[in-house]
Amino acid sequence: MSYYDLDVILTDSEKVPCKFELEVPDLGYLDNNPSQPLKAGTSVNLPLWLAELLALTHQSSTPFLTLSLPPALGDNVLNALKADPRAVPLRDQSQNFYGLGARMLDLFEEPELGVVLRRSFVVRAGEVALHGRKAGATGDAGSAEDFMRGLEEWEKKLYRQAHEGAKGHKEWMDGVKK
Amino acid sequence: MALPLPPGLVPTEVAFLCEMEMVTIIPRQRLESISLLSGQIPTLRPPHRAQLPLWLALLLKKQRRANIVPPSWLHPASLSEIIHHEINIDPEGFSPPPPPVTRSDGRGMARPYGDSKPGDMVLSPPFLPSCAADAPSSYLPYHWLELSETLLAHASDDIHGAAEVRTLLRDLQEVRAAKMRGSTTQLEGGGGVVGLRGVGAMELAESRGFVLGVVEGVRKLGASAEATRREEEEARSEGGEESDEDMAFG
CB pairs under 8 A between A and B: 105
Report CB contact under 8 Å: A169, B202.
Answer: yes
A88 and A48 belong to one structural domain: no
Amino acid residing at B55: W
Q: How confident is the model at residue B246 (pLDDT cuts 50, 70, 90)?
A: very low
How high is the pLDDT of residue B102? 63
C-alpha–C-alpha distance, residues B200 and B79, integer Å: 15
End-to-end Cα spacing for chain A: 42
More confidently predicted of B204 and B185: B204
Has residue A128 been placed in a domain? yes
Sign of the Cα torsion A26, A28, A29, A34 reads negative
Contact between B205 and A117 using a beta-carbon 8 Å cutoff? no
- For residue A1, being part of any structural domain is answered with no
The mean pLDDT value of chain B amounts to 77
Dist CA B49 CA B71 (whole Å) = 13
Length of chain B: 250
Q: What is the CATH number of the domain that holds A153?
A: 1.20.58.2050
A159 and A135 in a common domain: yes
Asked if residue A99 and residue A23 are part of one domain, the reply reads no
Residue B54, min C-alpha distance to chain A (Å) = 14
Rg of chain A in Å (alpha carbons): 21
Nearest CB among A118, A130, A158 relative to B222 is that of: A118
Does residue A10 form part of some domain? Answer: yes
| Residue range B210-227: mean pLDDT, rounded | 84
Q: What residues of B are in contact with residue A157 (Cβ under 8 Å)? A: 213
Decide which of A18, A43, A67 is a domain's last residue: A67
Domain boundaries, chain B: 11-99+126-187
Buried residues in B19-53 as b, exposed as e (16+ CB within 10 A)? bebbbbbbbeeebeeeeeeeeebeebeeeeebbbb
Please check whether residues A63 and A76 belong to one and the same domain: no
Residues A116 and A30 in one domain: no
* Boundary of a domain, candidates A67, A99, A119: A67
Same domain, A77 and A159: yes
In a domain, A101, yes or no: yes
Q: Are residues A89 and A114 in the same domain?
A: yes
Number of domains in chain A: 2
Range from A32-36, B203-207, B222-226 that averages highest in pLDDT: B203-207
- Residues A122, A42 within the same domain: no
Alpha carbon A34 to chain centroid, angstroms: 31
Q: Is residue A59 domain-shared with residue A128, that is, in the same domain?
A: no
Chain B residues touching residue A158 (CB < 8 angstroms):
210, 213-214, 217
Cβ(A143)–Cβ(A127) below 8 Å: no
> Per 3-state DSSP, what percentage of chain B is helix, strand, and coil (rounded to 5)?
50, 10, 40
- Interchain proximity B188–A123, CB inside 8 Å: yes
For residue B153, list chain A residues with Cβ-Cβ distance below 8 A. 176-177
pLDDT of residue B189: 63
What CATH number is given for B11-99+126-187 in this structure? 3.40.5.50
Q: Could you tell me the residue range of the domain that residue A16 belongs to?
A: 6-67
Report, as an integer, the average pLDDT of A159-174: 85
Question: In angstroms, how far is the first alpha carbon of chain B from the final one?
Answer: 60
The tens digit of pLDDT for each residue in B26-57 reads 888 888 888 877 777 888 888 888 888 888 88
Per the domain annotation, does A94 fall within a domain? yes
In a domain, A92, yes or no: yes
* Contact assignment for A165 to B206 by CB distance below 8 Å: yes
* Distance of residue A19 Cα from the nearest chain B Cα, in angstroms: 24
Q: Say how far apart CA B163 and CA B207 lie, in whole Å.
A: 27
Which residue in chain A has the smallest CA separation from B178? A130
pLDDT on residue B78 = 86
Q: Do A32 and A120 belong together in one domain? A: no
Interface residue of B221, B226, B228 to substitute, partner A, most A CBs within 10 Å: B221
pLDDT reading at B244 higher than 50: no
Listed in sequence order, the residues at least 6 apart from B173 whose beta carbon sits closer than 8 Å to its beta carbon are B145
User: What residues of A are in contact with residue B222 (Cβ under 8 Å)?
Assistant: 114, 118
For residue A139, pLDDT beyond 70: no
Q: Choose the final residue of a domain: A49, A67, A85.
A: A67
Q: Report the gap between the CA of A131 and the closest CA in chain B (Å).
A: 11
Q: What distance in Å separates residue B62's CA from the closest CA in chain A?
A: 12
Distance CA A47, CA A69 (A): 13
